[in-house]
Amino acid sequence: MSDFIAEEAPPARHASSLTQTLIAATLIQIVATASVLALTAIAPTVAKDLDIGAYWIGYQISLIYFSGMFSSAIAGTLVQRFGPIRIEQAALACFVLGFVGIASAKIPLIIAASLFIGIGYGLNNPASSEMLSRVTPLNRRNIVFSLKQSGVPLGGILASFAFPFLTRFFDWHVALLIGAVAPILTMALLAATHAAEPVNPAPRRSFLKGFAEEQSTIWRNPRLRALSALGFAYSAMQLSVSAFAVVTLVHDAGWSLLSAGSVAAAMQLAGAVGRIFWGVVADRIGGGFKTLALLGLLGGTGYALLFWLTDLPTIAQVALFVAMGGVTIGWNGVLLAEVAHNAPEGRVGSITGGVLVYTFIGVIVGPSSFGSVYALTGHYGASFMIFALFGFAGCLIAWRAHTASR
């Protein structure tokens, strides 16, 4: 947001407000990601009980992100109309419905529940960006947004451990109902620390008109266009390496499933640390676009090196994948901070939603395109080499945006 907002607030009150808002936004992000990945953590057990193939979990994840893409597109209008607090509460309510629907063990309700989780996930970032932009000083925006975004890999780790652990003591239906307690408690915390704003009395615009205005603003602004392209490219890289790390290690490098899964968990942890680290780097060097360019260069180089994965010693294979976790998962907070910095006054939430549409498209297109490339080449290393182009292209786009803004 603007320097004016950051500077006008009294220092003591500002610090307290920033801390409360950051804690609330990060917890919501953790709950959001855990809700998305809850079923993946216990997919074999659920699939066996429902008498379906475990591979169907891929379609469920795609359905969530497909739904999230559309809710992100209208999130800006909703945030402007109802305020970010109410929209965050609505997102958390969607996660509760998602847990309950999946716990029903009925396929139609699981489909509906997945749609609700996607809606909540798409609403979350535009609302939280609006909340944070109001209380974050300009010189701390990258670290603040990156701390919030560290909730994504932390939520993934939470889901990966919590739900399999709960199923050791309870039926999986009960485990998911216990999971529904997390968004309920987070709603209570948000209500206790943040009062909802009055409904905006300004003339209401339709969702279609709001989306068109947001996209028009984005495409007229070269920096927002660049951020949209970066969101698409980097999310495609992030989801591709996350989705195919285990199968690459097992299929190409001959690892056991358990060992490969441990490397995947280490990647997520590195991603959590990476989001904070790159936020610090961006604030220190005074440039989100410079940091995003560096991330593209490192990501593209790492993807290219994966072509020779089987020629590397075991420790180097682990180090390369963990480094890729820190890089390809670490970009999101810096990008969201840069969107908030370049959005017009009072429109952080709406522009964030508009930019994130392209990130959702990258999430949907990336892993499926990676799989298609593998189907043509029959070699995961070759697929990573081709996808390295996303990183190098992102590096060029980010650097051009940086030099142009100077």
pLDDT of residue 53: 67
Q: What tokens appear for 49 in the block?
A: 């009980």
Q: What is the pLDDT of residues 51-66, one digit of tens each?
A: 776 556 667 777 888 8
What is the spatial distance between Cα 245 and Cα 248, in angstroms, rounded to a whole number? 5
Contacting residues for 21 by C-beta, under 8 A, at least 6 apart: 131, 132, 134, 135, 194
Of 37-46, 93-102, 290-299, 311-320, which gets the smallest average pLDDT?
37-46
Contacting residues for 164 by C-beta, under 8 A, at least 6 apart: 41, 42
Task: Tell me what the pLDDT averaged over the chain comes to.
Answer: 85
CA-based nearest residue to 84, from 382, 362, 340, 280? 340
Residue 301 has pLDDT above 60, yes or no: yes
Mean pLDDT of 72-100: 90
The domain limits of the chain are: 3-405
Q: What is the pLDDT of residues 203-261, one digit of tens each?
A: 566 667 777 787 888 889 999 999 999 999 999 999 888 878 877 888 888 888 678 87
Residue 153 has pLDDT above 50, yes or no: yes
pLDDT of residue 210: 72
Q: What is the pLDDT of residues 339-349, one digit of tens each?
A: 988 888 777 87
Q: What is the DSSP string of 373-390?
A: HHHHHS-HHHHHHHHHHH
Name the DSSP class of 254. Answer: -
CATH hierarchy code of domain 3-405? 1.20.1250.20
pLDDT-above-90 percentage for the chain: 39
Of the pLDDT bands very low, low, confident and very high (cuts 50, 70, 90), residue 360 is: confident
Residue type, 204: R
Alpha helices in 104-180 (DSSP H): 107-133, 141-149, 151-166, 172-179
Residue 166 has pLDDT above 90, yes or no: no
Q: What is the DSSP string of 278-321?
A: HHHHHHHHT-HHHHHHHHHHHHHHHHHHGGGGGGS-HHHHHHHH
Taking the CA atoms of residue 162, residue 165, residue 171 and residue 176 in that order, the dihedral angle to the nearest 10 degrees is 0
Of 18-22, 193-197, 217-221, 384-388, which gets the smallest average pLDDT?
193-197
What is the spatial distance between Cα 290 and Cα 282, in angstroms, rounded to a whole number? 8
Cβ neighbours of 209 (radius 10 Å): 11
Residue 11 has pLDDT above 60, yes or no: no
pLDDT of residue 352: 84
Can you say how many angstroms the Cα of residue 164 is from the centroid of all Cα atoms in its chain? 23
Mean pLDDT of 367-385: 85
Residues in the chain: 406
Question: Which is it for the CA torsion 236, 237, 238, 239, positive or negative?
Answer: positive
Mean pLDDT of 63-88: 87
pLDDT of residue 7: 38
Angle at 321 between CA 374 and CA 57, to 5 degrees: 55
Mean pLDDT of 163-188: 91
Q: Helix or strand or coil: residue 369?
A: helix
